[in-house]
Structure 1
């Protein structure tokens, strides 16, 4: 029986292999623990949540009438959120938007980015939308 407590091979996206730091594997079916520590002493779970807080959650807020908010989930860019809205919600509201400054500015809808801050605070950033219909 070999001692594999210091290196655990994993395949990477390029077909090669990398290894987890010592102690990262456990006895579960996947062979690794999400509560392991990365080099530098930072827990893997904490690193994942810190990274996911950097990606904002977007909503499109209707400023007139019912004042509803339609989710565009987490997106890497403002324009990606507008594209998501066009695909998922565009037919319902019969509108298509872009964040590119082209077309007429939209006065009744605004894109809101909910960005995580320190101590769990959430900051809202409003992004102007333009008609893409």
Structure 2
């Protein structure tokens, strides 16, 4: 229902791929910059970047649960041999960050929403939800 409303408002665009539909934020919408600042603040993206600066990571996801035990949960994909694999930390008071390997990620029951790809030292990036 909400995806339909956002699409009708032209805040997001969707495209079908086989039996799925992929949505992207419409960066040309007049409300994009203000909403981007609001969302970045809510998901504590700057604090997340600081945490990731010292870690060799591949992908960052947000986990989606109907009733999460924390406000939000980031899932950070690291290499199989990473010393960070399996760790969990708390970002602020309400955001859990879990470090997983590609094998572990595929066994997770949560829906994962891609936030950013291929970190490996990348800094000052804006979250790009797709």
Does the TM-score normalized on the shorter chain lie above 0.5? Answer: no
TM-score in terms of structure 1 length: 0.28
TM-score in terms of structure 2 length: 0.29
Structure with more relative contact order (C-alpha pairs < 8 Å, separation 6 or more): 2
CA radius of gyration, larger in: 1
Q: Higher strand proportion, which one?
A: 2
